[in-house]
C-alpha cells in the first residue's frame, strides 16, 4: 500500500516504513505520521498482526498527546 501524501509504505512482510520529513516542525511531522498510520489502519484486516501494531501505535500517539498537553500546562504556569 503506497500513500503518496505521506510517503508511507506497508511492505509485504508487515513492516511500516515512514520517511520522516526533513523540516524542523516536529509537531507537524508527528501529526503527519499518525495521520498516515490512521489511513493505513483503516485498510488493514481485523484481527491480524498489523491491527495489533496499529493498536500499539495508537497508544503511543495518546501518550505523546498527553505529554504535549502537560508540557503546555507547565509552560502556561511558568508564564503567569
Q: Is the pLDDT confidence value at 56 over 70?
A: yes
Q: Is the pLDDT confidence value at 69 over 70?
A: yes
Q: What is the DSSP letter of 68?
A: H
Q: Which among 21, 56, 23, 12 has a CA at the least distance from the CA of 37?
A: 56
pLDDT digits (tens, 9 = 90+) for 19-38: 555 555 555 567 777 777 77
Determine which of 1-5, 14-18, 21-25 has the lowest per-residue pLDDT on average: 1-5
- Per the structure, the count of domains in the chain is 1
Determine which of 21-25, 28-32, 54-58, 65-69 has the lowest per-residue pLDDT on average: 21-25
| Band (80; pLDDT cuts 50, 70, 90) | low
Amino acid at each position: 500500500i503506497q500513500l503518496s501524501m505521506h510517503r508511507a509504505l506497508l511492505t509485504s512482510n508487515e513492516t511500516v516504513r515512514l520517511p520522516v520529513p526533513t523540516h524542523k516542525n516536529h509537531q507537524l511531522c508527528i501529526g503527519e505520521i499518525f495521520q498516515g498510520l490512521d489511513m493505513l489502519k483503516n485498510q488493514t484486516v481485523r484481527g491480524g498482526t498489523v491491527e495489533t501494531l496499529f493498536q500499539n501505535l495508537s497508544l503511543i500517539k495518546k501518550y505523546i498527546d498527553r505529554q504535549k498537553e502537560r508540557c503546555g500546562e507547565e509552560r502556561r504556569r511558568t508564564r503567569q
